[in-house]
Protein backbone atom coordinates (compact mmCIF):
# COMPACT_ATOMS: atom_id res chain seq x y z
CA UNK A 1 0.00 0.00 0.00
CA UNK A 2 1.46 3.37 -0.94
CA UNK A 3 1.79 6.37 1.36
CA UNK A 4 -1.10 8.29 -0.22
CA UNK A 5 -3.53 5.38 0.22
CA UNK A 6 -2.35 4.88 3.82
CA UNK A 7 -2.89 8.59 4.57
CA UNK A 8 -6.41 8.49 3.09
CA UNK A 9 -7.21 5.40 5.15
CA UNK A 10 -6.01 7.10 8.34
CA UNK A 11 -8.09 10.23 7.62
CA UNK A 12 -11.17 8.09 6.92
CA UNK A 13 -10.71 6.18 10.20
CA UNK A 14 -10.24 9.40 12.17
CA UNK A 15 -13.35 10.98 10.63
CA UNK A 16 -15.39 7.84 11.31
CA UNK A 17 -14.81 8.40 15.03
CA UNK A 18 -16.07 12.01 14.98
CA UNK A 19 -19.43 12.81 16.53
CA UNK A 20 -21.35 15.97 17.42
CA UNK A 21 -21.10 15.39 21.16
CA UNK A 22 -19.81 12.67 23.46
CA UNK A 23 -22.26 10.08 24.72
CA UNK A 24 -23.55 10.75 28.23
CA UNK A 25 -21.64 8.80 30.89
CA UNK A 26 -23.96 6.25 32.47
CA UNK A 27 -21.57 4.22 34.61
CA UNK A 28 -22.68 0.65 35.13
CA UNK A 29 -25.39 0.22 32.50
CA UNK A 30 -27.60 -1.82 34.82
CA UNK A 31 -27.86 1.15 37.18
CA UNK A 32 -28.27 3.88 34.54
CA UNK A 33 -31.98 4.29 35.26
CA UNK A 34 -32.93 6.80 37.96
CA UNK A 35 -33.31 5.05 41.34
CA UNK A 36 -36.36 7.19 42.17
CA UNK A 37 -38.47 4.94 39.94
CA UNK A 38 -37.80 1.92 42.17
CA UNK A 39 -38.65 0.90 45.72
CA UNK A 40 -36.03 1.90 48.31
CA UNK A 41 -34.64 -0.20 51.13
CA UNK A 42 -35.92 1.06 54.47
CA UNK A 43 -34.88 0.14 58.03
CA UNK A 44 -37.20 -2.08 60.03
CA UNK A 45 -38.57 -4.11 57.11
CA UNK A 46 -40.29 -7.28 58.31
CA UNK A 47 -39.48 -10.28 56.13
CA UNK A 48 -42.03 -12.99 55.42
CA UNK A 49 -40.53 -16.34 54.44
CA UNK A 50 -40.70 -18.25 52.16
CA UNK A 51 -42.28 -15.40 50.12
CA UNK A 52 -39.23 -13.13 50.55
CA UNK A 53 -36.87 -15.78 49.12
CA UNK A 54 -38.11 -14.81 45.65
CA UNK A 55 -37.74 -11.72 43.48
CA UNK A 56 -38.88 -8.29 44.64
CA UNK A 57 -39.79 -6.69 41.31
CA UNK A 58 -40.20 -3.18 42.72
CA UNK A 59 -36.46 -2.99 43.47
CA UNK A 60 -33.81 -2.11 40.91
CA UNK A 61 -31.24 -4.77 41.84
CA UNK A 62 -31.04 -7.73 44.18
CA UNK A 63 -29.01 -10.89 44.49
CA UNK A 64 -29.01 -14.33 46.04
CA UNK A 65 -26.14 -16.51 47.25
CA UNK A 66 -25.81 -20.26 47.49
CA UNK A 67 -22.76 -21.50 49.37
CA UNK A 68 -21.64 -25.06 49.98
CA UNK A 69 -18.79 -27.09 51.43
CA UNK A 70 -17.98 -30.09 49.25
CA UNK A 71 -15.56 -33.03 49.36
CA UNK A 72 -14.26 -34.95 46.38
CA UNK A 73 -13.73 -38.73 46.24
CA UNK A 74 -10.28 -38.33 47.84
CA UNK A 75 -11.61 -36.30 50.78
CA UNK A 76 -10.28 -32.95 49.48
CA UNK A 77 -12.51 -30.11 50.76
CA UNK A 78 -13.81 -27.35 48.52
CA UNK A 79 -15.86 -24.26 49.26
CA UNK A 80 -18.13 -22.98 46.50
CA UNK A 81 -20.37 -19.97 46.12
CA UNK A 82 -22.85 -19.19 43.36
CA UNK A 83 -24.34 -15.70 43.11
CA UNK A 84 -27.37 -14.76 41.02
CA UNK A 85 -27.99 -11.08 40.28
CA UNK A 86 -31.34 -9.69 39.13
CA UNK A 87 -31.30 -6.26 37.47
CA UNK A 88 -34.63 -4.66 36.65
CA UNK A 89 -35.31 -3.37 33.17
CA UNK A 90 -35.43 0.44 32.95
CA UNK A 91 -38.82 1.74 33.98
CA UNK A 92 -40.64 4.11 31.69
CA UNK A 93 -42.06 7.32 33.10
CA UNK A 94 -44.55 7.46 30.20
CA UNK A 95 -48.09 6.21 30.59
CA UNK A 96 -48.61 2.61 29.43
CA UNK A 97 -49.96 2.24 25.92
CA UNK A 98 -52.98 0.13 25.02
CA UNK A 99 -52.23 -2.71 22.62
| Closest to 89 measured CA to CA, from 59, 53, 55, 52 | 59
Asked if 55 contacts 62 with a C-beta cutoff of 8 angstroms, the reply is: yes
Highest-pLDDT range among 5-9, 28-32, 35-39, 68-72: 68-72
Q: Is 3 helix (H, G, I), strand (E, B) or coil?
A: helix
pLDDT tens-digit series, residues 37-93? 888 888 998 889 998 888 898 888 899 999 999 999 999 999 999 999 988 877 665
Alpha carbon distance 31, 87 (integer Å): 8
- Say what the pLDDT of residue 72 is: 96
- Say what the pLDDT of residue 69 is: 97
Highest-pLDDT range among 25-29, 30-34, 67-71, 88-92: 67-71
Amino acid sequence: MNVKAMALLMVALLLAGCDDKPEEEKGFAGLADDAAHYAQVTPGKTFLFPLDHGAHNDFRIEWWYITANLKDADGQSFGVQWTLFRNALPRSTAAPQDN
